[in-house]
Amino acid sequence: MAVRDELGRAKSRSTKFRVQNTSSMGWRSTSKHWWLWMQVVVVLVVLASEFGVHGQDLGTWEILLANAGIASMHAAVTNYGTVVLLDRTNIGASQIALPNGTCRDSNDLVLPHDCTAHSVLFDPSTNTVRPLTILSDTWCSSGQFMPDGTLMQTGGDFEGIRKVRTFVPCPATGNCDWVESTTQQLQQPRWYATNQLLPDGRQIIIGGRAVFNIEYIPPSANGPLYFDFLNATNDGQNDNLYPFVHLLPDGNLYIFANRDSIVYNYVTNTVVKTFPRIPGEPRNYPSAGSSVMLPLLASNQFSVVEVLICGGAQYGAFLEPWTRKPCSITCERIVVTDPNPIWVEEQMPIRRCMGDMILLPNTDVLIINGASIGSQGWGFADDPVLNPVRYMPYGSPDARFTTLTPSTIPRMYHSTANLLPDGRVMCAGSNSHQFYTFTGDYPTELRIDAFSPPYLSASVAPIKPTISVYPLQVTYGTPFTVTVSTPSALTTVIELNLMSAPFNTHSYAQGQRLVNLNVGGSVQVAAASVYQITATAPPTPQIAPPGYYMMFAVNQRVPSVAVWIRVTS
């Protein structure tokens, strides 16, 4: 009942917003079917009171900070658990001053003398932000962590379009800040590119608007390298931007742009596999779908790779936004490693574009944020989708989606979502306007909030594991032990999952992956429920490129708080 109340309240607050409730499940209460409708209501009320346990089991929302100072467009979680948020310059004054009273004098289009910050560091342990110093335009840039935990951030607009910026994380109380290189720059001007960390520790940077090529950081002597796939997938709306890139366990890259995808061997610069065209809408920027590589599983020795792509905008939604085209309702899933792969279609409970797809530590996928009409672009979307949806990849096909508790904050264009080490998903930003605009239907959003998925509910506390002893660093393929305790005795083997911290921008989390570890079993080491678990580090840097990962212990689909662990050769 509490669930229905919560939905009802959210709906009455803002009837414009898309809140999934019982009346939008496809049933029509025509007089002919009133009796059927009544039966459905009775069943749903019973189900809600049975399983919608006091609003908890469908997740909860909390506002973390009323004003972050900037509207987050790009976000990444560092290995100190802090979150780097970025907006852009050429947007006017933000609502937070640059550190130490500094100002920036430049050719900024809006504010040549700007004393405000366009990046902040959020600390989830205190729910506070600290301004960071970034002086060039990061609009539509890209990024990725390097193996030593440094956030590398590239490109943007105007004077930032060839910039290489680094942020070396520090403890939350520290003073670490951005460094914008004055000596190194990109080989090509880039915005809307995708970065991916490679097994050898380099980053590959793929594409961008009107740049159908690839380059590396550190740069390769023969770059940039022309990449015909990007030319071939370009169309009248440039639907090949922010390509979806997944590093495969064989070391090749799965790359998806517009509606096509390939496996690319970057070592030999050859396309080694071509997939059938995806059904339905274009899925990349500006058509606003999202993608994850499903968890790499120890149970199949990381030999099966599946890619999931959900949502998108109809072709033309970007060129003719006044047509208000409904967003995609489909997810498409493909087994990349199959000899003859095909797309398998599933229907989401709610249409969505600009959704963020976030891997959860228990191997579920959360689809969060976005809209159900339009596409990416300033003012091009409407009907924000407030309900996150959970997709359980290994559930029975007719029961994989669950519609979860709605937020109260629309998060559409230029918003972010990131998994925090405690298992919450932090959401920030949303700016449907070119500049900071606090009027109209969708004012620029400065609030930060977080969604606690059902696995954080108090009802699962008796089985929630806690990691107490663990190594700070592990070497490929070598065994290590972890001590885990649970409030009640274990009934199944605890799993260990490593999760990268991706760079999230424009509805796609660059470099996101979950690597499930081989676990040898648990040995009880104390009278209480304390267990020592023997695990094997990921076998190769192709399966888990070197760097910092959040390691979660998972007991019956309930994750611990993560610890940071460095994977290295």
Ligand X SMILES: *[C@@H]1O[C@H](CO)[C@@H](O)[C@H](O)[C@H]1NC(C)=O
Q: Is 455 helix (H, G, I), strand (E, B) or coil?
A: helix
Name which of 100 and 439 has its Cβ closer to ligand X: 100
Closest separation in Å from C-beta 131 to ligand X: 9
**In the complex, what is the shortest distance from the CB of residue 132 to ligand X, in angstroms, rounded to a whole number?**
8
- 227 or 451, CB closer to ligand X? 227
Output 100 or 173, the one with its CB closest to ligand X.
100
* 133 near ligand X (CB under 6 A): yes
CA distance 121 to 354: 24
Minimum CB distance to ligand X, residue 541 (Å): 33
| DSSP annotation of 278 | P
Burial per residue of 347-366, b for 16 or more beta-carbon CB atoms within 10 angstroms, e otherwise: ebbbbbbbbbbbbbbbbbbb
- When the beta carbons of 133 and 437 are compared against ligand X, the nearer one is 133
Q: Are 499 and 418 in contact (CB under 8 A)?
A: no
Span 537-566, contacts to ligand X by CB under 6 A: none
* Residue nearer to ligand X on the CB measure, 178 or 549: 178
At its nearest, how many Å lie between ligand X and the CB of residue 102? Answer: 6
Contacts 24+ apart (CB under 8 A), 516-522: 516/295, 516/296, 516/297, 516/298, 516/299, 516/363, 517/298, 518/298, 519/298, 519/493, 519/494, 519/495, 520/479, 521/493, 522/484, 522/490, 522/493, 522/494
- Whole-number minimum distance, CB 160 to ligand X, in Å? 18
Residue number with CB closer to ligand X (170 or 561): 170
Closest approach, Cβ 224 to ligand X, in A, equals 13
Closest Cα to residue 317, out of 389, 236, 242, 261?
Answer: 236
CA distances from 534 to 71, 222, 481, 493 (A): 43, 45, 5, 11
Closer of 210 and 460 to ligand X (Cβ): 210
The stretch among 12-20, 76-84, 99-107, 258-266 that binds ligand X (CB under 6 A) is: 99-107
Nearer to ligand X, 133 or 475 (CB): 133
DSSP lists the bridge partners of residue 385 as: 18
Query: Cβ(467)–Cβ(457) under 8 Å?
Result: no
Q: Which residues contact 533 (CB under 8 A, 6 or more apart)?
A: 481, 482, 483, 484, 494, 496, 519, 520, 521, 522, 523, 553
CA–CA gap between residue 364 and residue 307 (Å, rounded): 13
Q: Which is nearer to ligand X, 105 or 228 (CB)?
A: 228
Q: Which parts of 340-420 are beta strand (E)?
A: 344-347, 356-359, 365-368, 371-374, 381-384, 389-391, 401-403, 415-419
Kindly identify the residues of this chain, within the stretch 29-68, that bind ligand X according to CB under 6 A: none
Q: How far is the CB of 229 from ligand X (least distance, A)?
A: 11
In whole angstroms, the minimum distance from the beta carbon of 428 to ligand X comes to 22
Q: Where does this chain touch ligand X (CB under 6 A) — which range of 94-102, 304-312, 345-353, 559-567?
A: 94-102
- If one asks whether residue 107 binds ligand X (CB under 6 A), the answer comes out as no
Q: Which amino acid is at 16?
A: K
Measured in degrees and rounded to the nearest 5, phi and psi for residue 84 equal -85, 125
Closest CB to ligand X among residues 102, 488:
102
Residue 439 near ligand X by CB under 6 A: no
Q: Candidates 4-12, 73-81, 98-106, 403-411: pick the segment binding ligand X (CB under 6 A).
A: 98-106
User: Which of 341-345's residues contact partners 24+ apart within 8 Å by CB, and which partners?
Assistant: 341/275, 341/276, 342/276, 343/276, 343/278, 343/279, 345/279, 345/280
Q: How far apart (Å, rounded) are the C-alpha atoms in residues 207 and 212?
A: 5
293: closest CA among 251, 321, 255, 346?
255
What are the phi and psi torsion angles at 518 (to 5°)? -70, 125
**How many residues of this chain interact with ligand X, rule: CB under 6 A?**
8
Phi, then psi, of 409 in degrees rounded to 5:
-115, 115
- Listed ranges 96-104, 153-161, 183-191, 338-346: which one lies at the site for ligand X (CB under 6 A): 96-104
Restricting to residues 199-228, name those near ligand X by CB under 6 A. Answer: 228
Contact residue for ligand X among 8, 99, 440, 487 (CB under 6 A): 99
Shortest spacing between CB 232 and ligand X, in angstroms: 6
If the CB atoms of residues 45 and 97 are measured against ligand X, the closer one turns out to be 97
Three-class SS state of 567: strand
d(CA 351, CA 368): 12
Both tokens of 394, joined, read 């290994």
Give the binding range for ligand X (CB under 6 A) out of 95-103, 309-317, 347-355, 498-506: 95-103
CB-CB contact of 121 with 70 (8 Å): no
> Closest distance between ligand X and the C-beta of residue 125, in Å?
21
Residue range at the interface with ligand X (CB under 6 A); choices 97-105, 163-171, 443-451, 538-546: 97-105
Determine, following the binding rule CB under 6 A, whether residue 183 of this chain makes contact with ligand X. Answer: no
For ligand X, what does the binding mask look like between residues 371 and 400, x meaning CB under 6 A? ------------------------------
Q: Which is nearer to ligand X, 21 or 128 (CB)?
A: 128
Q: Which of 123, 148, 177, 346 binds ligand X (CB under 6 A)?
A: 177
Is residue 112 within 8 Å of residue 78, measured between CB atoms?
Answer: no
Least distance CB 175 / ligand X (angstroms): 4
Distance CA 410, CA 390 (A): 18
231 scored as a contact of ligand X (CB under 6 A): yes
Among 100, 182, 439, 491, binds ligand X (CB under 6 A): 100
- Give the whole-angstrom CA distance, residue 116 versus residue 138: 15
Choosing from 15, 31, 173, 175, the residue that interacts with ligand X (CB under 6 A) is: 175
Rounded least distance, CB 187 to ligand X, Å: 17
Which residues contribute to the site for ligand X (CB under 6 A)? 99-100, 102, 133, 175, 177, 228, 231
